[in-house]
Amino acid sequence: MSQIREIMAGGSYLSHSDLRAHFGLGLATLAETVEVLWPSGPRQTFHNVRADMFYMIQEGKGDLTLQTSCRRF
């Protein structure tokens, strides 16, 4: 199964949208592959990503960082 989410920064005056992408995995406990295509061109691929977690992914960094709080960026 493939799922695609597009994150767009910005919005209208004095507003902000959630920059997190949520993927439903059903009963699966991990995603075999997570691929991120950055607007500047690079592609990052992560394997065996555990479900039911929030991760922070930064362009150019090879690690998934577990997000421990629900603060917005």
pLDDT digits (tens, 9 = 90+) for 19-68: 788 888 999 999 999 999 998 999 999 999 999 998 988 998 888 888 87
Higher-pLDDT residue of 16 and 53 is 53
Single-letter code of the amino acid located at 64: L
- pTM for this entry: 0.73
Question: Which tokens go with 54?
Answer: 């929030």
The pLDDT, as a whole number, for residue 45 is 94
d(CA 67, CA 62): 15
Instruction: Measure the CA–CA gap between 35 and 55, rounded to whole angstroms.
Output: 13
Tokens found for residue 48? 């065996």
State the pLDDT at residue 73: 46
